[in-house]
Chain A
Amino acid sequence: MLGLGLPFAVIASTTLKRGALMSALCCACALVGFFLARLLGRHVSDTLRVLLVSLGAVCAVGGIVQSGVFSRVLIDGLGAYVPLAAANMILVSIAVDRQEQPFSAALRGVCFSCIGFTLAMCLLSVIRELLSLHTIWDRPVQFSAVPISGAALPCFGFILLGFFAAFGRTLGRAHLRILIRRTLRAKREEKEEGIG
């Protein structure tokens, strides 16, 4: 579901610094929106909740931008992607408030989504920065290969994302296979114990 915020984050995160900034913004939006939504809960009508959550998320973004954690230059460099990502994240946070689940479970879900999103974004931007500029976090890295300037293109970001998704699926399937093997082994041992 956090994938709704994805396109703008992918296009914008061509270096690690930018990727980190985008993830921070998106996570802030998501978390603030989530907390606000849970706080308001069923006490207000749905429309009002949406409005208030949007307001809260905008404030969160504004707060991060103003706080000075990230340099002005970096934020200006991202330009229009900041509000775009924020707007998308507002929609996402409304989707993730999961009113019917208990608070701890929903909180766990949102936190893990944010962590995963940040990890994926940072990995993506590290690869793109390495390939196109041969730097990490703006520090040059020894790399004897050619600089592939095309890695900074948006389409390359999506191509990489596709490969990540494939890799993720492979990991998931391998995990499933391990689980199945473990279950079968346990069942076999049970049966042997039962017979013996």
Chain B
Amino acid sequence: MRETGYKGILLEQNKEPLLSRGIRELERLPVQEAFFSEERPDPAQLNASRLQNIAYEAQIIDESDGVQLWKKLAKASRDGALAIVVDALDDEPYISSQLCIALWMDDELEDAITIVKDALGIERAVVEIYRNLTDIDIRIPSKIGNYRVRRVGGTYPAELRVRKNESKLLIIGACALIHLYRAVTRCRIQTTAFVSVAGDCIANPANYEIPLDCTVAQVLSASGLIAPPKRIVTGGSMTGIGVTDPTSVRVRPATRGILAFAEQFDDLGFSCIGCGRCVDVCPQGLSPYFVHKLLRAHRRGTARRAAEGCNCCGACSYVCPAKLDLSHRIYEVAADGRRGGEET
């Protein structure tokens, strides 16, 4: 029996009303423009090294993996790349910043792709968008300008699964491409990030263009809070980081979302009943139930071996009816194993 079939979970995407509102700016946090040079280069005469210089001067950081863009371009021009893949996947619920750009700033995106394509001499380019978006009000086009939109299907975690043969492709996030376009056409430094501000505590949920280094507290009060949030998350809803002090966390280029929820997960006091749902959904084919049992019996050595391959997608914790904190603990145990933890 194929136990390592890619199962995963089908999540309710909750991308509306953000997606229909386009990219907005917060009144209280206006965007400040900054430039690294006065002269405007001619886009038609860009070559690979000139493009890298522009990306370096504009301090553009790719939001999908936090890597500086000029490094990515350098690697692509050095090793050659089969195609450009524009990452607008957004397979986590509530987060739609990349998708919004692909839908509402498609002209700039198309021009940006053309610039990179011509400068690096890559022939193919494709825009990746998640397929399983069922509750949105906008139609996803099949082409952005001249470039085909590839719908990546499958259950969550689709993005983690799709990034397998990365070394042959140049993967750039959609937001980074917009910043690159601005850098090439107007020599603008990246001073903003595109962030999805959503959650049931937010008065005006939308995808905002927010200046870098604003605190999360400022963003939340600028977008309006209708209830005091019990949980604030930066990043994705499934893989993001919980914020304990919103006045000390700042918006960085790799911030994709700020979520504020009113509901706290109470400790319901349930114990594992062995329902096996975690085993059904693990995309890596692990058995979180087994690892949980081993950890409870303090058999860390065996647990490390059993947890090998965990990528912390969070699917097991999502489906657990006992609301156990599975994915984080299993990932820690697996990381322990990779570091060569001692046998206990």
A and B touch in the complex (CB under 8 A): no
